[in-house]
Amino acid sequence: MARKAGRSGQSNPDEDMGESPGSRPEALQYRGCSFRYGIDRFQFNKPASWTDWLDFFKRYLVSAGLMAADDDFKINELILCIGPEANAILKRSTLSAADRSSFDAVVEMFQRHFLGTRNIVYELARLHGIVQRDGEPVDSFISAVFAQAENCELDDLKVSPKQLLTQCQLIAGMANRELAAQLQTDPTLTLEQVVQRLRLDATVASQQRVIAETVGDKAGAPRAVQNGQVESVLRQKAPGTARRSRSKWRMNQPDGVCKKCGFPAHSKGQKCPAVGKLCNCCKRMGHFARMCRSKQQARSSAAAVQNQGEPERAYFLGALSHVDSYARRSQSTPPWRVELIVNGVATRFKIDTGADVTCIPEGRPGIPSGLLPARSLKLFGPSGGALRVIGFFRTTLKHGDCTRTEDCYVVRGLAEALLSRDASEQLRLVQRLNEVSGLDEPAMCGFSKLDGNKSTDPQTLDSICSKDAYFAEVRKEFPELFDGLGLLEGEYNIQLKADAKPHALTVPRRVPLHYRGMLRDQLNQMALFVQ
């Protein structure tokens, strides 16, 4: 009777007075609905928050004294707190009549409904990928790690941690991503089964290559006989046109690039991302639009460049080599060269301050096999002619204590490796000289015996000429420089302004051939204003 009275919200004071002081009235245990507060409805659009919401609900049951209530009352309390959708989920569940009256069974059913079976490989990968960001409080970082560790369910392991970590690493690191996705869908998978599937996949892949080669060799001759009608239809078109166009298309593509997707060549067993994809240019399957060989390739590529907003870049390569007529003159001033490490291989570069980018000839050691495409770059030589760029790779150049991450472009037909202007400056191989900050030398440079801070009289000049033959020749050839204004009576003190700056010392540079015409026109126009 006390339980029925508790459900209706009424209690019998006489019965309450008759209970022992240490026992809690049963009526208070069943008044959870009227005293419930702070329990928000579960958000069905955020199923990942089910664990936190359930923990908060269990705390509510403890604080309200409802943990000792029967399971029917706690199940109704749970459904009322979750919302009307929970009642529909419970009705269409496959629980038996006995399990529908068990609070733990109902909670486990909702757990499977909202969270499903956890992917341990994915959860462990997320746990290893959590890092503390810049400016993130340490408490926030620790809470994120502990929360993700709870999702891994490491407390209820049925295998040893060593087997679990080995299994997860095999699945996460295998090259066949399609097989890895299939293995992650099986929650009962064991380490032995993963190893067997990996070995079976490698064996089948090698057997398929042998089968393809064998079938291709045997099917060549009979196919020509059986397809006589097809061969006659092909002869109506220009014979060899498709083959020539395909060969020309392949020549224009850089080496080490997949002909289907345009990314660097894939390793064995790695799936190409273009497989099963529709081309936006020719509407065919199996390749991307940027690698399409149809007539609309140029138009689609131009549209793709406009959508990406990547402007076409043009760089100048200013290296010039001397000819035999200038061999003698070049011997006194040899080119500046430096030896740098490129991918573990010592490479000798020529320092070229006229080069906008760093270039390496094709076939040099240290060049990786998979080069990145450089379609938006145009490279010109000193004569204005375009150079053929195979691709580029990014590497770290080091000289002494200076390092620089540089994009090295592989150029076909280049004589020697050229180090760009920016890389030469950052590695402190060359330095730009714009002005003279100060001079501690005498007023007349080149003559150490002459002090520019003191007045010079004829006796001093005669003494210097007796000791310095070159100075005597200069005085004899240019006597007007040592007479007149230079020999005023008395001493004069010349003071410079506080904000005075020395004149800039500019270094002349050669003008590229393709800029000479424009420079000549500009100089002629400036000369008109002077006249």
| Whether 373 contacts 318, CB under 8 Å | no
What pLDDT, on the 0 to 100 scale, is given for residue 299?
45
- Whether residue 362 lies inside any domain: the answer is yes
- Whether residue 502 lies inside any domain: the answer is no
Give the number of other Cβ atoms within 10 Å of residue 365's Cβ.
10
Order the strands of the 389-399 sheet from edge to edge.
337-342, 345-351, 417-419, 358-361, 402-411, 389-399
Location of structure tokens 């100048």? 316
| 285 lies in the same domain as 381 | no
DSSP annotation of 154 reads G
Read off the pLDDT band of 99 (50, 70, 90). confident
**Mean pLDDT in the chain?**
71
| 367 lies in the same domain as 511 | yes
What mean pLDDT is predicted for residues 42-59?
Answer: 80
How many residues are recorded in the chain?
Answer: 531
pLDDT at 82 over 80: yes
| 281 lies in the same domain as 319 | no
| 285 lies in the same domain as 390 | no
pLDDT digits (tens, 9 = 90+) for 108-162: 888 878 776 666 777 777 777 788 888 888 888 888 888 777 777 666 667 777 7
| Whether 172 contacts 183, CB under 8 Å | no
Distances (CA, A) of 133 to 122, 128, 139, 521: 21, 14, 12, 56
What pLDDT, on the 0 to 100 scale, is given for residue 182?
81
Q: How many domains does the chain fold into?
A: 3
- Whether residue 63 lies inside any domain: the answer is yes
What mean pLDDT is predicted for residues 86-93?
Answer: 84
What pLDDT, on the 0 to 100 scale, is given for residue 215?
62
| 393 lies in the same domain as 513 | yes
- H-type helices in 362-468, by residue range? 421-426, 458-467
The residue ranking higher by pLDDT, 178 or 230, is: 178
Q: Residues 6 or more apart from 468 whose CB is under 8 A from it? A: 447, 449
Read off the pLDDT band of 276 (50, 70, 90). confident
| Whether 66 contacts 55, CB under 8 Å | no
pLDDT at 12 over 50: no
pLDDT digits (tens, 9 = 90+) for 293-347: 774 444 434 433 334 444 555 555 555 454 444 444 445 567 788 888 888 788 8
Q: Which of 86, 115, 144 is the last residue of a domain?
A: 115
pLDDT at 433 over 60: yes
pLDDT digits (tens, 9 = 90+) for 417-432: 888 888 888 888 887 7
Read off the pLDDT band of 243 (50, 70, 90). low
pTM above 0.85, yes or no: no
Lowest mean pLDDT among 7-21, 87-101, 195-209, 240-254: 7-21
Domain of residue 75 covers 31-115
Dist CA 450 CA 464 (whole Å): 8
Q: Which of 95, 93, 98 minimizes the C-alpha distance to 113?
A: 93
> Residue 122: which H helix or E strand, with range?
helix 120-128
Read off the pLDDT band of 499 (50, 70, 90). confident
Dist CA 313 CA 326 (whole Å): 34
- Whether residue 525 lies inside any domain: the answer is yes
Q: What angle do CA 412, 415, 420 make, to 5 degrees?
A: 85
| Whether 512 contacts 382, CB under 8 Å | yes
Q: Which of 68, 99, 115 is the last residue of a domain?
A: 115
| Whether 67 contacts 28, CB under 8 Å | no
278 SS3 class: strand
Give the number of other Cβ atoms within 10 Å of residue 524's Cβ.
9
CATH code of the domain in which 339 resides: 2.40.70.10
Q: Residues 6 or more apart from 432 whose CB is under 8 A from it? A: 425
The residue ranking higher by pLDDT, 153 or 176, is: 176
| 512 lies in the same domain as 426 | yes
Q: Which of 115, 148, 167 is the last residue of a domain?
A: 115
Q: Which of 85, 21, 20, 7 minimizes the C-alpha distance to 47?
A: 85
Dist CA 124 CA 126 (whole Å): 5
Q: Which two tokens stand for residue 423?
A: 């890389």
| 269 lies in the same domain as 381 | no
Q: Which two tokens stand for residue 77?
A: 């309390």
What mean pLDDT is predicted for residues 243-258?
Answer: 57
Dist CA 514 CA 505 (whole Å): 27
What mean pLDDT is predicted for residues 269-285?
Answer: 80
* DSSP string over 175-201: S-HHHHHHHHT-TT--HHHHHHHHHHH
Q: Which two tokens stand for residue 493?
A: 């003190």
| 427 lies in the same domain as 517 | yes
Phi then psi for residue 346, to 5 deg, are: -70, 125
pLDDT digits (tens, 9 = 90+) for 350-361: 888 888 888 888
Q: Residues 6 or more apart from 437 whose CB is under 8 A from it? A: 502
| 410 lies in the same domain as 424 | yes
- Whether residue 227 lies inside any domain: the answer is no
| 287 lies in the same domain as 340 | no
What pLDDT, on the 0 to 100 scale, is given for residue 244?
52
Q: Which of 56, 24, 21 minimizes the C-alpha distance to 40?
A: 56
> Residue 464: which H helix or E strand, with range?
helix 458-467
510 SS3 class: coil
pLDDT digits (tens, 9 = 90+) for 455-477: 467 777 888 888 888 888 888 88
What pLDDT, on the 0 to 100 scale, is given for residue 74?
86
Distances (CA, A) of 162 to 128, 147, 153, 157, 166: 16, 22, 15, 11, 6
Q: Residues 6 or more apart from 138 whose CB is under 8 A from it? A: 132
| 318 lies in the same domain as 399 | yes
- Whether residue 385 lies inside any domain: the answer is yes
| 367 lies in the same domain as 305 | no
Q: What angle do CA 451, 452, 453 make, to 5 degrees?
A: 95
Q: Which two tokens stand for residue 168?
A: 């997860």
- Whether residue 1 lies inside any domain: the answer is no
Report percent pLDDT > 90 for the chain. 0
- Whether residue 153 lies inside any domain: the answer is no
The residue ranking higher by pLDDT, 195 or 309, is: 195
